[in-house]
Chains A and B, each alone.
Chain A
């Protein structure tokens, strides 16, 4: 393996028993991942895509049935102990003991990894300061707010100055302010400490802001990988979004199919409202035609917007199941 990869995984396969006569769940189905040292890598994908499973395999928690993975230069299956010494893992749940204070949690984690009492205390103080846990540091962890607890979780992952830090949805459930401060912290980790960070998230904005590269995972494999800018540039043209009121998805789809220069149309229906998202080489040119087509089809609509591609569009393109399905239908209709 080239030395500059902090994570290098090939063809990971992991199945879970389905239980009660159900077929096995293939959580990972030939997943590849390469993360250069010192970068932040985002794992994106819908629920059940296999993001957490990937993280568990790379942190030596779970064992892949097939494939190989090296983390910080060591094989996760053969050299698990060496990998464990060099990583930090922040799981999707919490990692802190609720009855201990944050300071006690941090010191105990350090001592378990072999720090002397003095070193453990010093390290705990350092992390308390760094994450601004301040007055919360000596209160019981169960009494803390979600944002503070999550900071503690990340701090716990950093106790032993790891080379690679795995963060499984570090900001889920945080308010915008707590999220922004977590982002600042993660960016600082990657910058100042030259840490490699593998981050799973549902927030595309998070990946866009933090990650040097992202892998979009779906059904246990990486469907597309690259830097956010690279991925956006693969989608030429503009994105057209039309807010819909009580839409009939089929009517909207066939109306969209009649407009020339409108591709990859997808209709999302959420209760009484919906959204038509489509790609077009030139947004301003098709707006009028789309509005006319919708009106002819008797579809009520709200705001119409044209935007440059975002990571959302990339995500929808590759991991949005409804997108692919609708894609096929609208292409058929266009024929």
Chain B
């Protein structure tokens, strides 16, 4: 048996002099998820088609809402679009964790975790891709809404603010999904938990109905719903007279929420590793 000495100077030099920087790692990880996304055209197609169906469906089914006294005479479709933007983000964000479950199952996660890659870069890289998808979805919803007759008096600034707020909501929700995925490590559990949260969150919010038309207990509960925060901030930003105070507070709440949940998802990555 040979007993070669492990001399650091003659040992095979690693290809790389030093580790990739954190932003570079995030960029590579998100590149991977982008490629994955583009090679699964079904997923991408659904992500775009789903909000279109919602606009058509809710726009028609609930169009009479616009005539109700509590509504205040505005156009229902214009009212609906910000809500649909946020709902879209919520529904696709709920799936964000599935990629991690696939990675855990296949062994990709173990390879990544045994290499000098930051745990937070793995989580952030995937989040970046999710946010990009959310942004594309948001732009599509706003565009389709406009084609269908919705008008945004807030102009480009209003739309940009609405999209920005939708990204805060997306960050919170994608991170939540990632954290649940990393802790439960089970596809069924993830789908179950997402369904339990997402569907009630949609209806106990002002995404589809103005507060005046909601039953009073729902209206109260809706005030604590991040979906309501995001929808109302976007709605006022896209309207004629913008309530910047509302935009500011709701954005702040969403940002704090997103930061907390993102921290939790990194924590969940560490918890996953501890379970190994």
Contacts and interface: CB of A to CB of B under 8 A. Distances in A.
Given A98-B106, A194-B4, A123 B15 contact: yes
Interface in B15-64: 15-20, 24-25, 28-29, 31-32, 35-36, 39-40
Contacts of A87: 114
A213 B110 contact: no
A205 interface: no
B117 interface: yes
A62 B276 contact: yes
Given A91-B111, A97-B108, A161 B28 contact: no
Interface in A204-253: 212-213, 227
Contact of B12 (A60, A84, A123, A195): A195
A163 B6 contact: yes
Contact of B2 (A36, A56, A112, A161): A36
B116 interface: yes
Nearest to B39: A99
Given A87-B114, A156-B111, A113 B15 contact: yes
A108 B111 CA distance: 12
B5 interface: yes
Contact of B106 (A94, A115, A156, A160): A94
Contact of A104 (B8, B18, B35, B273): B35
A141 B272 CA distance: 26
B46 to A, nearest CB: 17
A161 B10 CA distance: 13
Name the prevailing secondary structure of the A interface residues. Answer: loop
B73 interface: no
Contact of A119 (B11, B15, B18): B15
B1 interface: yes
Q: Interface residues of A toward B: which range?
A: 35 or more
Contacts of B106: 93-98
A171 to B, nearest CB: 16
A89 B15 contact: no
A56 B20 CA distance: 23
A61 interface: yes
B114 A212 contact: no
Nearest to A230: B1
Contacts of B8: 73
Contacts of B31: 108
Given A38-B2, A63-B274, A114 B16 contact: yes
A113 B111 contact: no
A84 B115 contact: yes
Nearest to B25: A112
A95 B111 CA distance: 6
B74 interface: no
A159 B15 CA distance: 8
Contacts of A56: 110, 276
A112 B28 contact: yes
A4 interface: yes
A114 B13 CA distance: 14
Pairs of residues from A and B, 5 with the lowest C-beta to C-beta distance, nearest first: A93-B107, A95-B111, A38-B4, A114-B16, A37-B6
Interface of A: 3-6, 36-39, 56, 59-63, 72-73, 81, 84-87, 89-100, 104, 108-115, 119, 123, 140, 156-157, 159-163, 193-195, 212-213, 227
Interface of B: 1-8, 11-20, 24-25, 28-29, 31-32, 35-36, 39-40, 105-108, 110-117, 273-274, 276
Given A99-B39, A193-B12, 11 more contacts: A37-B3, A38-B3, A62-B276, A94-B106, A95-B107, A100-B36, A110-B16, A111-B24, A112-B112, A123-B15, A157-B111
